[in-house]
Amino acid sequence: MSGNFWLPMTSETTTQNTLRLRDTDEERALLGQEDSTLRLLRRYLGVRAHARRCRITIEGEPRAVDEAMFLLEGLRERVRVGNDVRPEEVERLLRRKRDQREDAVDLPVGREGRILRALDDTSIKPKSPAQAAYVRAVERCDIVFAIGPAGTGKTYLAVAMAIRLMKRGLYRKLVLVRPAVEAGEHLGFLPGDLTAKVNPYLRPLYDALGDFLEFAEVTRYQENDIIEVVPLAYMRGRTLDNAFIILDEGQNTSAAQMKMFLTRMGRSSKIVVTGDVTQTDLPRGKQSGLLDVRDRLRDIEGIAFCELGRDDIVRHPLVQKIVDAYEAGTGETGTGGEGAPLPATTIASGNGNAGNGKIGDGSAGDGDSGDGDSGVGA
């Protein structure tokens, strides 16, 4: 790749494919004025493209040809249901695909890959192979579950990825969700209005944002509905399009709540669910929705389950020893789950549309960044 565009490959590595159209009217509608669709395909994918007698032929590097054909087939369907094909819409789709391909190259693929830089100039990146696998899963899959003990970076890395992808214009909105469940004690009636009552439960999410964005930025984005921090109970009945959605403390959902949350997912959105099934605060005898969903969805393509353990803890060194001590007394595994760790299942998928109000270059969030390179606050 050179600059923003694909470079044509040599003839030894090229392939060719053809899209058939019904008639010249369909051809004109799909190609646009002065064959604008073909010109954009050549520009962004580096393919050779020409149309003749209701056939569009694409030639080039195999992956670029596949992407061109996928786009053309989608545009053809839009034409057949009566929708217009506008050059600016085609260019937006191609830009998004280009950005996703660039992300696949420069997103973290190991301990040296940086996600973004925090406000204190700390370089945020995975600090273990499991964290790196988790970040890659967030990049590639539309739904990701991260299960592991406290301090493994589940929520912190998810927020960092969300900020990164929103800065690139891939998502219009960031939605941070948390169940309003007390941690083993009853606080009674809290004073204040509704916001004051639920704010203590959502505080950890604001902490995670604070490492990447200034307080004034977070406030402005919330006022403009670009960032939303909301209790899980308020998600019912909603549909979230073009959004990066993070559910923290997923172990404190019931099976019904988890189903409700996952089905809020709209077009071009991504969901990340984090949780530690060894720290469930649900009433005794009530199964965690995070355990339930792991059994139900583990074989669905496009959904990844990432298991993090004691070796991935990057908080204070004592946190790892505390986790070990509790596990030694209860016989629980380091990942808090039941059964063997699950491999991530990934697909290459379109992940989000560029929004009208994307996050700018100012960073955000707080969280447990520690002294070294990667903040971790899960």
Dump pLDDT digits (tens) for 301-338.
889 999 998 888 877 778 778 877 877 765 444 333 34
Query: Per-residue confidence at 298, pLDDT binned at 50, 70, 90?
Result: confident
For residue 299, what pLDDT is reported?
86
Bigger pLDDT: 93 vs 242: 242
pLDDT band at 99 (very low <50, low <70, confident <90, very high): low
CA distances to 20, 21, 66, 249 from 54, rounded to whole Å, are 6, 5, 19, 54
Query: What pLDDT, on the 0 to 100 scale, is given for residue 164?
Result: 87
Quote the pLDDT of residue 176.
92
Residue 197's pLDDT band (boundaries 50, 70, 90)? low
Judge contact between 363 and 166, C-beta under 8 A: no
Query: Which DSSP string do the residues of 210-274 spell out, in sequence order?
Result: TBTS-HHHHHHHHHTTSEEEEEGGGGTT--B-SEEEEE-SGGGS-HHHHHHHHTTB-TT-EEEEE
Q: What are the tens digits of pLDDT across the range 358-371?
A: 455 433 333 333 33
How far, CA to CA in Å, does 47 sit from each of 33, 61, 72, 107?
Answer: 19, 7, 13, 25
Confidence at residue 259, expressed as pLDDT on a 0 to 100 scale:
95
Specify the range with the lowest mean pLDDT, choosing from 1-15, 35-49, 107-121, 201-215: 1-15
Greater confidence (12 vs 303) lies with: 303
Maximum Cα interatomic distance, the chain, rounded to a whole number of Å: 74
What average pLDDT does the chain have?
76
pLDDT in the model for residue 205: 80
Which SS3 state, helix, strand or coil, does residue 327 take?
Answer: helix
Predicted confidence at residue 317, as pLDDT, reads 72
The neighbouring-strand residues paired with 228 are: 175
Any bridge partners for residue 56, and if so which? 19, 51
